[in-house]
Amino acid sequence: MAIVLNGTTGITTPDLTSAAGLDAADLTGTVASARLPAGSVLQVVQGTTSTAVSISGTTYTDSNLSATITPTSATSKILILVNQVVYQYATSTSQVLSGIRLLRDSTVIVNPYSDGTGPAEPYLEVGGGTEIYNIFRHTINYLDSPSTTSAISYKTQGALRNTGSGRTLLFQPSGSINATSIIILMEIAA
């Protein structure tokens, strides 16, 4: 396509109505200039669950809270924000020790606090009673560097430190109001 000025053909511009009207020179620098600055949020994924999961053993078990994200760049960071409803209960002891951890696929990336004998986060102790319970929202915030553009899943698991005396670790207790747990994954440009 040409622009005609005073009866003479002047400036020639590319034909933008078809790919044939563009060449490599027309696109130079376009991709690089379109990149967002470091720290920009590229995408957000949220996972929720209100399904109750009861754990009464010392083996780590899925809590039913998970979300999957596919990074757009291998250099991106993934910010994981977990807000999970947790219920601890014991019928005849003054102590409930448990652990909640975060995994990327099958790799543990955040472990609970441990005193050397076993996990102790969350920790519940009440003196002088034969029945104790605690319900709260457990949070985990972690910035991960997965170095991939393949789909990756993040999830939480829980376990008791020791069993007996009716000890229970319960995620998303059924019958509770607002017992929905949430996990948010944010891809951050590096």
Peptide bond before 122: cis, by omega within 30 degrees of 0?
yes
Reply yes or no on whether the pLDDT at 90 is more than 50: yes
What pLDDT is attached to residue 32? 41
What pLDDT is attached to residue 100? 97
Q: What is the pLDDT of residues 27-61, one digit of tens each?
A: 444 444 457 899 999 999 999 999 999 999 999 99
What pLDDT is attached to residue 67? 98
What pLDDT is attached to residue 14? 53
Reply yes or no on whether the pLDDT at 16 is more than 70: no
Reply yes or no on whether the pLDDT at 141 is more than 90: yes
Give CA angle at 162 (160, 164), nearest 5°: 110
Query: pLDDT confidence of 1, banded at 50, 70, 90?
Result: very low
DSSP class of residue 39 equals T
What pLDDT is attached to residue 116? 81
Q: What is the pLDDT of residues 176-186, one digit of tens each?
A: 778 999 999 99
Rounded CA-CA distance 179/160 in Å is 20
Rounded CA-CA distance 21/92 in Å is 80
Give the residue extent of every domain in the chain: 38-188
Contacting residues for 93 by C-beta, under 8 A, at least 6 apart: 132, 164, 165, 166, 167
Looking at the chain, the whole-number percentage of residues with pLDDT higher than 70 is 78
What pLDDT is attached to residue 133? 85
Contacting residues for 123 by C-beta, under 8 A, at least 6 apart: 96, 97, 98
What pLDDT is attached to residue 174? 85
38-188, what's its fold?
Jelly Rolls (2.60.120)
